[in-house]
Amino acid sequence: MYTKKTKENCVDIQQWCSCYLLSRHECCGSHTSENTRLNQWAAILLQHIHAFPTSTLSTVRFSNRLILKNETGSGCFYCAVPRWFVCSHGGGRQRKLKANSLAGFHHVWRWRRCRLVVNVSCLCDSPGIYVKRTHTTVILKTTPTMDDCAQERPLFTFGVIADIQYANIDDGYNYSRSRRRYYRSSLQLLRNAQESWSESAVKPEFILQLGDIIDGFNKGHNASERALDTVLREFSSSPVEVHHVWGNHEFYNFSRSALLGSKLNSTLHTDRILSETRPGPEIYAYHFSPFPGFTFVVLDAYDVSLLGREESSEQYKSAMNVIRQYNNNEDLNCPPACEGLEQRFTMFNGGFSKEQLDWLDSVLSSADDKRERVTIVSHLPVHPCSTDPICLAWNFDELLGIIRSHSSVVCFMAGHDHDGGYVKDKDTGVHHLTLEGVIETLPDSNAFGTVSVYEDRMVLKGSGRTRDRVFLFP
């Protein structure tokens, strides 16, 4: 946050100014082994605050020193930096200082065991009239850049990809015939992702496949099993385990009972120790911990759905009662409204049962007590600002309410909306990411990401349509 800039913490730059970048204590140690790394971080710091030369400002004189402090507060290195006119910012937004003012700032940057503390003091001296000293502290909580994060080794990494929807058929269009779909090319884009993950300096611990692994058209061509084997063969080219999420296209091809016994049931095909508690025998939801202090929860977004259920079953009848409260169309894939949140009540969406929500609540309560970081994954998004409303889960509000009642959740990842989306929940700071779909990605592009996890953040390195993002933990 910023200390409000006032006349007291601004200096007229037409007067002679002397600006010092100092630590809280001007002491420098002799830890020369740290010098190279810290010198690099000094350069990164200066880039991060968007410093630029002031050679054209002949009336301003700067004499700068940068001192980096370790966690005990003792100085470990200092370096001289050239004359700069500084531009401060916060939350990723650059804010240029006015040409007639110079505001001091205080910048704190975490780097493993080291904390970088920079303080600016401004001395304003107008000869013959008065001598005025100002000392300002502005604390910025800023988002790291990708270059910053590259300097630090992550605790672990994982890959993420969504909506591959492979089918061995010619290209086509989406339901509304407004977007091109590249059914065969999606397999090559998966290969591109696999190659990138295998060549990473830090190999992923696992891959999150966020649902719709093959397209529903395979069912009509009697090619569901063949298409699935083709895609899973690509995934098996790497030894990294894959956690599969179920989407609507899984249910277009297979019944729920078939999926529970298939290779898409990740609980049956992993050496990782999974949670002992499960919400129910027919609900595909579980959680696992890839690293101490971190938990991933896989949810079943079609637990309440018309898809994958026998029409004679109680679950199908219950889901029909839910959707018919809002959608009276003969074709239930046609949304009940042209705009607004009611669009979500279509057959290609679904929801979460009370049993699954209660289970999630207990998992998050346990994570709260252990002070763990939790990432939840689902095919359907649950935040209205992270997706088109037509792609939301039926009872997204109930799941959001559970997330907001716990402190452990840091991120929610989903697919389904092929355009992707993102929002940071203003109340909780939880990051809601909807990943772009492979199926509607041009053959010469990509749509996948690699996520590096640190103690205080996750960093998404995107490829193609998927953009880079930094998720600071709440």
From first to last of its 474 residues, what are the pLDDT tens digits of the chain? 323 333 333 222 222 222 222 222 222 333 334 444 444 444 344 333 333 333 332 222 333 333 333 333 333 333 333 333 333 333 333 333 333 333 333 232 332 223 333 333 333 333 332 223 333 333 333 445 555 555 689 999 999 999 999 999 999 998 878 899 999 999 999 999 999 999 998 999 999 999 999 999 999 999 999 999 999 999 999 899 999 999 999 999 999 999 999 999 999 987 776 767 788 889 999 999 999 999 999 999 999 999 999 999 999 999 999 999 999 999 999 999 999 999 999 999 999 999 999 999 999 999 999 999 999 999 999 999 999 999 999 999 999 999 999 999 999 999 999 999 999 999 999 999 999 999 999 999 999 999 999 999 999 999 999 999 999 999
User: Do the beta carbons of residue 416 and residue 396 sit within 8 Å?
Assistant: no
Q: Please state the domain extents for the chain.
A: 7-151, 156-472
User: Do the beta carbons of residue 93 and residue 101 sit within 8 Å?
Assistant: no
Superfamily of domain 156-472: Metallo-dependent phosphatases (3.60.21.10)
Q: What's the pLDDT at 147?
A: 56
Q: What's the pLDDT at 148?
A: 53
How far lies 150's CA from each of 26, 111, 118, 435, in Å?
Answer: 29, 11, 22, 22
How far lies 122's CA from each of 5, 27, 67, 102, 282, in Å?
Answer: 14, 20, 17, 8, 66
Its pTM stands at 0.71
User: CB under 8 Å to 94, separation ≥6 — which residues?
Assistant: 50, 87
User: Do the beta carbons of residue 163 and residue 416 sit within 8 Å?
Assistant: yes
